Amino acid sequence: MSKIKVLFAAAEAVPFIKTGGLADVAGSLPYAFDQEKYDVRVILPCYTCIAPRYRSQMKDVMHTVIFFNGQDRYLGLRSLELNGLTFYFVDNEAYFGGSGPYTDYTYDIEKFTFFCRSVLAILPIINFQPDIIHCHDWHTGLIAPYLKTSLSWDPFYQNIKTIFTIHNLKFQGLCSREFLCQVSGLPWHLFTEGPLCSGSGGNMMKGAIQYSDKITTVSDSYAEEIKTPEYGETMDGMLLWRSPDFCGIVNGIDYSIFDPSSDPSLAAHYSASTVSRGKAASKAALQKELGLAEEKDSFLIGMVSRLTEQKGLDLVIPVLERLTTKPCQFVVLGTGDYQYEHTLWEYAASRPDRMKACLVYDEALSHRIYAGCDAFLMPSRFEPCGLSQLIALRYGTLPIVRATGGLKDTVIPYDKAGNKATGFAFENYDWGGISWALDNALDTFLLRRKDWNAMRQNAMKQDYSWTSSAKRYEALYEGLL
């Protein structure tokens, strides 16, 4: 029996280019499919900022010219095989040059429209006809509209199915409808109160939701939340309409990378059976590295995050004073909005034995924080899925989260499940909610250590590997075909 052919289309993928969780999905999930049944490949832009060690391995596949936005444009394709998986790279330095994958927002609309056109133009040239194109986020939002409108007459494309995954509904590829009509070349009637129109503007993601055969998002709870006006970012009505073809599938993490038994970044390795000893050694090493008081009985809370309002920083700041006057220590790693960076730095400078603010991106240090902390704070205003809580569970570090989106789906709260729980959760996005959860976690750590140790074991036994997620995607693919 021939394999099911799937093409992942995304703006970023590890290990080539990453700004967020989208890259982890696009670069890790394809490896988890049954290789006997699936031929999965990935296509993304050939950014000039991709590390030279990868660019030097790329092979030229083809080059041509396509007519785009009023003129002929160079279109090249390069490829690289990495650990048995084929990655394609759409090459055009005018669009994909620069120091990062994203630049001016209006220009990003144009260049990702070019990417959508290019993905489809390339397929017949390289003789790869996927059964399914799995599109990720607004950057790929025009692939399904192209297939269902301007390419619907072409036999090569007629049987290709599309799945569109929403990683964050807040970002939709919005611009003026005149501009999107111009650069896309799609008919004007699609932009006049049609599937590519939001109010008076053009909307790439809306087109994907309208035309894709199936729509997914990255957790079951987020799928329900974004069908409401509170979280729906004006797309709630359309998502309700597409409910029969819409579902949530929780993301996973790469268990070969996030493995406390072999992680090269850690001072001590451990498994579920040796978690107490291993985490004690990791905690002591982290306290020493960061200049915190080396107190084994202090409740060490970690946070690895973008420092933005969405991640709950406006809740974290008010509880810092109260937190650091208790037998607690707090370490935060990340960058973001200046006001949060500045306030965290000031707090940490005034109490260096209780708090450390590492205002950088440091992958190795993040692993040591996951391993060395007792608890992990993630009080997000909204969270489509979240990966940090999954990593914390893997390292036996109990998450303290707001019960929203993927956080609600992946953390079993102590107040509802007792010692079968895996963490702590609060419902209301306010100071009272986060304070209650922090107090509950601290009291459990200090006074109910037997429950704490049971929860730590529970956390490490959870399966949020990509293999688990891939099984649900396989069922979706096979049902679609």
Per residue in 13-28, pLDDT (tens digit) is: 999 999 888 999 999 9
Q: What are the helix (H) ranges across 165-302?
A: 177-184, 204-211, 220-225, 236-241, 275-290
pLDDT in tens, 289-328: 999 999 999 999 999 999 999 999 999 999 998 888 899 9
CA 450/CA 430 separation, integer angstroms: 30
CA 366/CA 388 separation, integer angstroms: 10
Residue 117 in any domain: the answer is yes
Residue 401 in any domain: the answer is yes
Asked if 27 and 61 count as a contact pair (C-beta separation under 8 A), the reply is: no
Q: What are the structure tokens assigned to 443, written together?
A: 């009291």
- Peptide bond preceding 379: is omega within 30 degrees of 0, i.e. cis? no
pLDDT in tens, 185-200: 999 999 987 899 888 8
Q: What are the structure tokens assigned to 279, written together?
A: 């985490």
Asked if 112 and 11 count as a contact pair (C-beta separation under 8 A), the reply is: yes
Rama region for 291: left / alpha / beta (φ>0; ψ in -120 to 50; rest) = left
Residue 169 in any domain: the answer is yes
pLDDT in tens, 413-427: 999 988 899 999 999
Asked if 359 and 344 count as a contact pair (C-beta separation under 8 A), the reply is: yes
Picking from 387, 272, 291, the residue whose alpha carbon sits closest to that of residue 331 is 291
What's the one-letter identity of residue 117?
Answer: R
Mean pLDDT of the region 136-165: 97
Q: Is residue 163 domain-shared with residue 19, that is, in the same domain? A: yes
CA 329/CA 312 separation, integer angstroms: 18
Q: Is residue 324 domain-shared with residue 371, that is, in the same domain? A: yes
Q: Is residue 474 domain-shared with residue 411, that is, in the same domain? A: no
pLDDT in tens, 350-409: 999 999 999 998 999 999 999 999 999 999 999 999 999 999 999 999 999 999 999 999
What is the domain range of residue 10? 4-252+466-480
Say yes or no to pLDDT of 433 above 80.
yes
Angle at Cα 385 formed by Cα 384 and Cα 387, nearest 5°?
Answer: 140
State the residue for tokens 């992946």.
410
Asked if 375 and 292 count as a contact pair (C-beta separation under 8 A), the reply is: no
Q: Is residue 238 domain-shared with residue 281, that is, in the same domain? A: no
pLDDT band at 106 (very low <50, low <70, confident <90, very high): confident
Q: What are the helix (H) ranges across 137-203?
A: 143-148, 177-184
Residue 363: Cβ-neighbour burial (10 angstroms; 0-12, 13-18, 19+): exposed
Asked if 64 and 84 count as a contact pair (C-beta separation under 8 A), the reply is: no
CA 192/CA 60 separation, integer angstroms: 41
Q: How many domains does the chain have?
A: 2
- Quick one: pLDDT at residue 20? 83
Q: Is residue 211 domain-shared with residue 285, that is, in the same domain? A: no
Q: Is residue 41 domain-shared with residue 145, that is, in the same domain? A: yes
CB neighbour list of residue 325: distance below 8 Å, 6 or more residues apart: none
Helix-strand-coil split of the chain, %, nearest 5: 45, 20, 35
Q: Is residue 445 domain-shared with residue 302, that is, in the same domain? A: yes
- Quick one: pLDDT at residue 314? 95
Residue 35 in any domain: the answer is yes
Residue 259 in any domain: the answer is no
Q: What are the C-alpha distances in Å from 365 to residues 17, 20, 121, 343, 370?
A: 20, 17, 42, 21, 9
Q: Is residue 352 domain-shared with residue 246, that is, in the same domain? A: no
Q: Is residue 335 domain-shared with residue 200, that is, in the same domain? A: no
Asked if 236 and 227 count as a contact pair (C-beta separation under 8 A), the reply is: yes
Residue 267 in any domain: the answer is no
Q: Is the pTM of this model over 0.85?
A: yes
Picking from 313, 229, 370, 304, the residue whose alpha carbon sits closest to that of residue 21 is 304
Q: What is the dihedral of CA 372, 468, 21, 323, to 10 degrees?
A: -30
CATH code, domain carrying 194: 3.40.50.2000
Q: Is residue 242 domain-shared with residue 315, that is, in the same domain? A: no
Q: Is residue 174 domain-shared with residue 307, that is, in the same domain? A: no
Cβ of 121: how many Cβ atoms within 10 Å? 17
Residue 345 in any domain: the answer is yes
Say yes or no to pLDDT of 92 above 90.
yes
Percent of the chain clearing pLDDT 90 (strictly above): 93
Q: Is residue 471 domain-shared with residue 398, that is, in the same domain? A: no
Residue 97 in any domain: the answer is yes
